[in-house]
Structure 1
Amino acid sequence: MMVPVRCFTCGKVVGEYWEEYKARAANEEGDEDPEKVLDELGVERQCCRRMLVSHKDLVDVVAPYQ
């Protein structure tokens, strides 16, 4: 649904990176490499990177049914 605020594995805050990651990974000039975006944002641990890369934002899809 919504991006988790903290990493499930290590507990680091990852929710603050979601908006910028989403915007930069799907920009109009062509997709930036997710690896490069996460490196520039300072997300180093693989468990935290997984939280952002594997998340599918479904809030807009589910919202009408609530």
Structure 2
Amino acid sequence: MVIIGDKWNVYLELLGKDMSEGDALDELQLKRYCCRRMVLTHVDLIEKLLQYNPMERSKEKPQFS
């Protein structure tokens, strides 16, 4: 069984070294199309989602009494 959750950052590093997507996936030993699809179609949204954390927004707003 292949686990791909820990390969995202390595994949980005390989792309940063001007490696093609296919070669980067081969380097990560992701041969099956289902695993390759998971990496190729991933959208990294965590930074955007953190902006919408209601607890964080309440810290920034002044409290009125």
Pick one of 22, 39, 52 that aligns with 1:35. 22
Q: How many residues align?
A: 53
The structure, 1 or 2, with the larger RCO (C-alpha pairs under 8 Å, 6+ apart) is 1
Percentage identity across paired residues of the two chains: 34
TM-score, normalised to structure 2, is: 0.71
Q: Aligned ranges for residues 1-66 of structure 1 at < 5 Å?
A: 12-25=2-15, 27=16, 31-66=18-53
TM-score, normalised to structure 1, is: 0.70
- How big is the alpha-carbon RMSD for the aligned residues of Structure 1 and Structure 2? 1.5
Superposed structure 1 runs of 4+ greater than 4 Å apart: none
User: Of the two, which has the highest radius of gyration?
Assistant: 2
SS in structure 1 at match of 2:51: helix
Shift of residue 41 of structure 1? 1.0
